[in-house]
Amino acid sequence: MSLYGRDILSIADLTKEELLFLIELSKKLKRKRQKINVLEGKSIALVFMKPSTRTRISMEVACYELGAHPIYIHAQTTQLARGEPIKDFARVLERYVHAIAARVYSHSDLVELAKYARVPVINLLSDWEHPLQIIGDMLTIDEKIGLENARVAFVGDGDNNVAHSLLLACALLGIEIRIGAPKGYQPCAKIMEQAKKLAEKSGAKIVVTDDPIEAVKGVNVIYTDVWVSMGMEKEREERVRVFRPYQVNSELVKHAAEDFIFMHCLPRHPGEEVSDDVFESTHSIVFDQAENRLHSAKAVLLALLSETIPDV
């Protein structure tokens, strides 16, 4: 299977078979972690408009272990900070590098980059989606319980980038997904329309409810994310008030399967979206998730930038 030269701006840019291929490739790269120079001579621009820990470090290490040269670019140190149009930035950058991976505030900036750059563009996070996070998450779920056995609940802000990509991935793979979110914070109509179309094909079950107990009832995967994402600080007081009943805590998880796993893409806000007793429990696999960001990043880079996938 070849994804050579493709963009990945959304999980929905992939077919079910392509997503499963990336998960399997991630597994292979993880089992035999070593430096392979299959991308030697290639340079990859890592453009960051937002702060990052896991995404930046996993991408830099992924590039290094594949033999590529990562170039970290903070947008504020470029002419973008002085108003250079994205389309001009894209047409310059593509002359220097073999791929552009970008972490942005607005998804429209990624779309503009992909429109004008003739090299692959990878979404490292936007206000709309977080596909590389979810590829790593699907790898983690598969390792822990098997994708075929998963019943997933996302509790909290259902209209954020992680929830959107998780919903689309589950719909693509035929996994039951429940979103427990307050009214006004449930997945947007466009994402729901995409997810329903994918679910019709895969047989996935999608439930959206404002009852957090109903969302987690009987599930074996509980996922949450921060209530106040970057750029939403002015809404903090209202969001904390609205989402308080949706905290993942010891009372809520009693309604899940006994062997449930807890997931969070990090960073967390202690005392808010998840209580410490759940976060630090044996059910929590958040640091396995964080590790898998490296292996899935390597799989994506290898698939997009190598015409043939080496035997790893």
**What's 202's domain CATH number?**
3.40.50.1370
CA distances from 169 to 129, 149, 164, 268, 306 (A): 11, 15, 9, 22, 24
In a domain, 310, yes or no: no
Number of helices (H) and strands (E) in the chain: give both, helices first. 11, 9
Residue 94 counted as domain residue: yes
Q: Do 276 and 138 have their domain in common?
A: yes
Instruction: Give the pLDDT of residue 229.
Output: 79
Number of domains in the chain: 2
> Which residues have CB under 8 Å from 214's CB, separation 6+?
178, 180, 207
User: Which residues of the chain fall short of a pLDDT of 50?
Assistant: none
Nearest to 222 by CA among 251, 253, 181: 253
For 92-154, the three-class secondary structure string (H helix, E strand, C coil) is HHCCCCCEEEEECCCHHHHHHHHHHCCCCEEECCCCCCCHHHHHHHHHHHHHHCCHHHCEEEE
Answer whether residue 232 is part of any domain. yes
**Residue 311, in any domain of the structure:** no
Token pair in block for residue 254: 């009693």
Residues designated as active site: 103, 130, 133, 225, 265, 293
Edge-first strand order for the sheet with 99-103 is 69-74, 43-48, 99-103, 121-123
| pLDDT score for 235 | 85
Domain residues for 214? 133-289
What's the pLDDT score for residue 232? Answer: 76
Same domain, 168 and 90: no
**178 assigned to some structural domain:** yes
DSSP 20-85: HHHHHHHHHHHHT-----TTTT-EEEEEESS--SHHHHHHHHHHHHTT-EEEEEEGGGSGGGGT--
Examine residue 92 and state whether it is found in any structural domain, yes or no.
Answer: yes
Same domain? 156 vs 81: no
Q: Is 167 helix (H, G, I), strand (E, B) or coil?
A: helix
Within this chain, do residues 82 and 152 fall inside the same structural domain, yes or no?
no
How buried is residue 13: exposed, middle or buried, by Cβ count under 10 Å (0-12/13-18/19+)?
Answer: middle
Task: Say yes or no: 106 and 161 in one domain.
Answer: no
Do 285 and 297 have their domain in common? no
Asked whether residue 270 is assigned to any structural domain, the reply reads: yes
Same domain, 256 and 112: no
Is the domain of 144 the same as that of 278?
Answer: yes
Q: 88: which residues sit within 8 A by CB, 6+ positions away?
A: none
Task: Check whether residue 139 and residue 272 sit in a common domain.
Answer: yes
How many angstroms from the chain centroid is the CA of residue 52? Answer: 13
Is 68 contained in some domain? yes
164 and 273: one domain? yes
> Nearest-5° angle of CA 218, CA 131, CA 91?
170
DSSP-based three-state secondary structure for 161: helix
39 with 98, same domain? yes
Amino acid in the structure at residue 115: K
Query: Which pLDDT tens digit goes with each residue over 238-295?
Result: 999 999 999 999 999 999 999 999 999 999 999 999 999 999 999 999 999 999 999 9
86 and 102 belong to one structural domain:
yes
